[in-house]
Amino acid sequence: MNLKPTIGIETHIELNTNTKMFCRCRVVDTEEPNVNLCPTCLGLPGALPVPNEKAIRYITLLALATGCSITKKGMFHRKNYFYPDLPKNYQISQFDLPVGENGNLEIVIDNEKDYVEIERVHMEEDTGKSSHEGSGRIDSATSTSLDFNRSGIPLVEIVTKPVIKSSKEAVAYIEELRQLAIELEISEGKLEKGNLRFDANISVAPSESNELGTKVEIKNMNSLRSLERAIDFEIKRQSSALENGDIIIQETRHWDESKETTTSMRSKEGSADYRYFSDPDIPNMVLPDEFINQVKESLPSLPHENRNKLMETGLGLSDSNVLSKSEKWIFELYFEVFNNTKDSKASFNWITGELQGQMRKLEIKSLPNWFSANLLSDVIKLIDENKISFTSGKVILEELIQMDTTPDEIAKRLDLYQENDEVAISKIVNEIIDNNQDIVERIKNGEDKLVGFMVGQIIKSSGGSINPGMAKEILSKELNL
Amino acid sequence: MELLNLSIRELNKLFITKKTKPSELYSEIFNRSASSEAALHAHLSLFEETNLDKAKKSDERFSKSENVGLLDGIPLAIKDNINIKDEKTTCSSKMLSNFVSPYNATVISKLDTEQTIYTGKTNLDEFAMGSSTENSAFGLTRNPWNTDYVPGGSSGGSAASVASRSSIAALGSDTGGSIRQPASFCGLVGFKPTYGSVSRYGLVAFASSLDQIGPISKSVDDARIVYSAISGHDSLDSTSINDEQIELPFEKNATIGIVKELMEDGISEESKKEVEKVIDILKQKGYNIKEVSLPLIKLSISIYYLIAPAECSANLARFDGVRYGLRVDGKTSYEMMEKTRAEGFGDEVKRRILLGTYALSAGYYDEYYGKALRARKKMVDEFSTIFKECDYLISPTTPTEAFKAGEKTNNPLEMYMSDLCTIPANLAGLPAISIPTGLSSNNLPLGVQIMSKPLTDNSLLDFSEMLEKELEFNSTPEGWSK
């Protein structure tokens, strides 16, 4: 039986506003529990919500950046369910009038562009955080501790349509979404801090079927690695069940990181009834055209636009994708170096390879202030002009990171400039030919690989200052090869 | 003892002319409330100690002529669903019997700047759900006019407190008549302002789109003074309004509408007579009076009993034993929450939570809650149309005089009917006032209700004050006049 998986992803992004969604408590990054609280985010009797305008702006930014149509007449709804870390036992969310609908996001997968359709982008408030003792689950915990610092932090939820076809595509989608949030400056995008959290809905159906299979929701994936593995596991689990003639039940399953399996949390016979209704504490929201236009104008260059700009410099899609997801300074450095050198491949390789490699080795996160794009450009130019070897370039770069100096100064000091004078090189070449007549004979008899040996000898006798390309060229000429 | 019968303006004058002091007034009030408690049980708590200090500070301000306004040193009673920092807010529920509020409601912060004194917290139907103050987990309140009768509800404690002269005026909250109905049952003025004109921040929510805080007082002028102090835009309440008041025509230029549907079946002859009495007065004064019809008013109770329970089912979900209030232990978190809610809420509260949960359920939403919302919208439109031809609408406040304690406790539907006349103003967000007009054959007070369009609160108060003067109602129940 040929089977095809279909995946939909719900992502929550924590917005980096100064204050919470419905109260003026500051959002502070702290390990100390229950310090950022007020009557509203603790759900005390009589407390009321007042929406955070900045959060609405941020969500509108994301909706516009994903090409969604904006719902001008928005509404906050109450989503009713009981859970100890949900202070009001309802979450203020959006139901039938989300901020954005029907968008799409360009992603890069297997060196090709693809598009993930977005169903909706809406806002909601975060819950508190539960820590269950004695068990990972609330039903079997011996005790549960609650921290409400997170309660009321604004979240944006992005829901895709069921269009994702593989775990690889799912990962590419999350990477793209994360980068988008960073470019929009609405989130730090740190997965390890829970800035982005995602659930996946997975179903498997016969390849020829036009209908989707029964969907299973997977929760508790907190890294891209676990997202990929959980999806792969679940596709395999469902496929073999179908092949054995079993029925897939609609349920929520928990990804167990240590066992690398999914286990059943609760079955969803029909869907849970959240009894959504418009929150009477918040008047209906109307986003004026003026506001929407203003937000539109403030949109920065988006990851897919950055990729296109990078491809215009001559980079391939894959390299462009890597750079579009790098830190901002790397992205900017690339363009400066490229503008100086007009060598896209070398600019890319030196920045993503050598420069970042050296920084990792030296354990530094940012470049010293004296380091500029011009210095790196000069190194690349010296290599391109055959004035120094690639290896010398690496030596120079390593010093440039640690010392306020110039490539020229280092090359002179370490005697790294290559001999490019044809007459001088010919002299050395002829000396080596004279001293290695036996080898020359063998080359002439067809042992081509010995050319390399000769070139090596030439460079060695010059103390490394001869450009290998030129040495080979002159040798070939002298030997009439 | 006569001090207790005076109006806020009169008392302020005595303070200024040094004929009496706030501390003297407070002592009398405290003695009265302490003695009325056994007969009426109007209060859930009385704040003696802190208040003596506050009253003495008020004395000093008056002696140095540094007094801040009409409410300086005036003792007001506060319904126990309004938060006062560091005091209990129980909502007359077992659920919150130990809950001490860490913050002030906006109305309390505003009264604090006026240097008002709070006598204590008053009894109410649990979470303001009821029309008799019998649904209190801490015992019922009795009507000062006749203790066999209920004071009305849910702000029955506030009304009994003012009627028994245990406080000068009181704050109540009104979701479907909870200020006006007890005011009417106790021979007092009860004013529900335009929705959004008084902040709800710190008022424990029953039905957010209907709740409104307002005064219960002996006179329209007292109500006006308290209303002026507590109203105004509040950035902590998104539904708070910031619009200017609209002035209505006064005296003979004003047109008065008599609501036909509130003068029909279900309204007692005695209640109708009070309205007719008012019509005669207005006619004599040359007002233009006409009968108007608002057919949807007949549906108000049905609309109300879908919308209010739906909102309350979510508003009361937060009482789960997790963070504050009652907690009944269980083997798991969910069992704890279930047991807490089973034990913490009374029957009427449970009834409404169930009703609201059902009305919002998938598959029923459109048929019940959705339909109620649409009907409410239509009713608002009906009022808008009527207010194009009328400035004030007059009706009875209640279909009957006060009923006896225990009379309707076993018949919730009959109890719900007692809010027939008052609910429409909540559904439409209108300002509405009840003023006392006379006594029934049982010697119990009766009142009429006047409604006007949103944001005409000041005009409504002026108009009511004119009527109050003409009616000359002696608002003192026997036994509490001295």
Q: Supply the ipTM of this predicted assembly.
A: 0.95
pTM for this structure?
0.90
* Contact in structure between B155 and B126 (CB atoms under 8 Å): no
CB contact under 8 A, A139 and B334: yes
Q: Report CB contact under 8 Å: A275, B105.
A: no
Q: Which residues of chain A have a CB within 8 Å of the CB of B200?
A: 46, 48
Note the Cα A91 to chain centre separation in Å.
Answer: 30
Residue A192: CB atoms within 10 A of its CB come to: 8
Is the CB of A280 less than 8 angstroms away from the CB of B239? yes
List all residues 6 or more positions away from B228 whose beta carbon is below 8 Å from its beta carbon: none
Query: Contact, A82 vs B320, CB < 8 A?
Result: yes
Q: What are phi and psi of B259, to 5 degrees?
A: -75, 110
Task: Look up the CATH architecture of domain B2-249+431-471.
Answer: Alpha-Beta Complex (3.90)
A42, A49, A80 member nearest B317 (Cβ): A80
Report how far residue B81's alpha carbon sits from residue B154's, in angstroms, rounded to the nearest whole number.
10
Nearest to A280 among B96, B208, B337 (CB): B208
Cβ neighbours of A51 (radius 10 Å): 20
Q: How many CB atoms lie within 10 A of CB B455?
A: 20
Angle at A65 between CA A59 and CA A68, to 5 degrees: 80
Q: Is B99 within 8 Å of A45 when comparing Cβ atoms?
A: yes
Residue of chain A whose alpha carbon sits nearest to that of B96: A45
Q: How far is CA A377 from CA A351, A381, A384, in A?
A: 10, 6, 10
Question: Active-site residue numbers of B?
Answer: 79, 154, 178
Give the three-state DSSP class for B168: coil
Residues of B in contact with A280 (CB under 8 A): 207-209, 239, 311
State residue A96 phi and psi, 5-degree precision: -85, -5
Which residues of chain B, if any, have pLDDT below 70?
A: 1, 475, 481-482
Question: Cβ A49–B238 below 8 Å, yes or no?
Answer: yes
Strand partners, A205: A4
Element (DSSP H or E) covering residue A319: helix A317-324
CA distance B312 to chain A (A): 11
What is the H or E stretch that residue A394 is in?
helix A390-402
- H or E stretch including B44? strand B43-46
Q: Which residues pair with B191 in a beta bridge?
A: B433
Mean pLDDT by 10 residues, chain A (481 residues): 93 97 93 94 98 96 97 92 96 94 95 96 95 81 92 97 96 97 95 93 93 92 94 96 91 89 72 90 94 96 96 96 93 95 94 92 90 93 87 90 91 81 79 87 85 85 77 83 73
Q: Which residues of A touch B (CB under 8 A)?
A: 39, 42-51, 78, 80, 82, 84, 87-90, 138-141, 144, 146, 271, 273, 275-277, 280-283
Beta partners for residue A123, in sequence order? A156
Domain ranges of chain B: 2-249+431-471
Q: Write down the residue that tokens 């390309």 correspond to.
A: A469
B250-261: burial string, b at 16+ Cβ within 10 Å, e else: eeeebbbbbbeb
DSSP of B323-365, one letter per residue?
A: SSS-----SSHHHHHHHHHHHHS-HHHHHHHHHHHHHHSTTTT
Phi, psi for B391 (deg, rounded to 5): -95, -40
Q: Among partner residues A39, A271, A283, which is closest to B239 by beta-carbon distance?
A: A283
Query: What pLDDT is stored for residue A191 in this prediction?
Result: 92
Render pLDDT for A293-303 as a digit per residue (tens, 0 to 9).
Answer: 999 999 999 99
CATH of A422-478, picked from 3.40.630.30, 1.20.140.70, 1.10.10.410, 1.10.3720.10, is: 1.10.10.410
pLDDT score recorded for residue A481: 73
At B409 the pLDDT is: 86
pLDDT of residue A271: 61
Chain A residues in contact with B206 (beta carbon < 8 A): none
Chain B residues whose CB is inside 8 A of the A90 CB are: 314, 317
pLDDT score recorded for residue B1? 46
Please tell me which residue of chain A has the smallest CA distance to B365. A275
The residues, ordered by sequence, that sit 6+ positions from B278 with a Cβ below 8 Å of its Cβ are B394, B437, B448, B467, B471
